Amino acid sequence: MYWKRILVFALLALVILGGGFITAQDKTAADPKREPDQLAIDKLTKEMIQAFDNRDAAAIASNWSEEGAFIHNDGEPIRGRAEIQKGYEEFFRTLKGRPKLEIQSDALDFPSADMAVKQTTLRLKSDEGEVVASGRQDAVLVREGARWKIAVVREWDREVGRDASLEQLEWLIGTWQAIVKDREVTVTYERDKDRGFIRGTFTVKEGSTVIESGTEMIAKDNAKGVIRSWLFQSGGAFGDAVWSREGKKWSIDVHGVKADGTELTGTVVYIRIDPNTFTWQAVNLALDGEQVADTPPIKVAKQQPAK
């Protein structure tokens, strides 16, 4: 499996190296009839990203149904392929610089034979990798002949720096643990004495043997209004990341370099379940530009102090 070579720059650093998990991509194998549809929708998503990065409003609109609708921030719908194309043309004229589009697929369901419902997180990134805008979408897709088309999109903006405060990460303070197969990952987060940083230290064990360890520092970037983190592993790998929050979901856009020089990019997703539990997942992963399968969500539990 690909993730036997992955270095993850966040909590649970190397827990996914053990392999043998069912990934989001593998789930389609349980319903082989839907695998071609998922592949077709993935292809449509890539076409939309390419058209956006080319600022090609006509190509974007061509992926919509003739009477499709676009609803932004609960405003008045823009209806019809021609009007949607005009809307993108106007948007591109107001867009500063040449940010690129990233689409993170959060969920895909097929309620009927010729309909799909897709939930995504959108990010615009500058050439330096900064997240300059972010939003979420709920989309309904329909099959028209041999092609999938976008029928309805509801999109909501979110302010990238809205939650850029370390106080929003106070829930991380403490010791957390995850056990997957024969690996045990333990990480402890604490505020430094001046409360300017959150410091994390972690170990990965196989049995009683520590096979990896490292340090993570989390801070607010007051110049950019975002939360950043930096991670250093004992084997010589390192990485940095930008954090953003939407409700109980944290998305962490990571970039790192393994000890052998391989570059990793992707997004780590934390979803809080309750004060003592959250799930961890890595999505949109690439090693030296080669796509890697998403990991499954992994349960992480807070360790309670001994009484």
Distance of alpha carbon 290 from alpha carbon 264, whole angstroms = 9
Domain 26-158 class in CATH: alpha beta
Q: Where in the chain is the domain with CATH 3.10.450.50?
A: 26-158
Q: Where in the chain is the domain with CATH 2.40.128.20?
A: 2-22+163-302
**What's the confidence (pLDDT) of residue 158?**
67
Q: What angle do CA 11, 253, 96 make, to 5 degrees?
A: 160
**What's the confidence (pLDDT) of residue 305?**
64
**What's the confidence (pLDDT) of residue 167?**
86
**What's the confidence (pLDDT) of residue 163?**
45
Written as one letter, the residue type at 40 is A
What parts of the chain have a pLDDT lower than 50?
1-30, 161-163, 307
Residue-wise pLDDT for 127-138, tens only, equals 777 777 778 889
- CA–CA distances in Å: residue 119 to residues 27, 36, 142: 17, 19, 15
Question: For residue 116, which of 87, 88, 152 has the smallest C-alpha distance?
Answer: 152
Q: What is the DSSP letter of 76?
A: P
CATH code for residues 2-22+163-302:
2.40.128.20
Question: For residue 252, which of 283, 292, 224, 222 has the smallest C-alpha distance?
Answer: 283
Distance of alpha carbon 67 from alpha carbon 80, whole angstroms = 4
Question: For residue 303, which of 152, 186, 158, 144 has the smallest C-alpha distance?
Answer: 186
Distance of alpha carbon 81 from alpha carbon 69, whole angstroms = 8
**What's the confidence (pLDDT) of residue 295?**
83
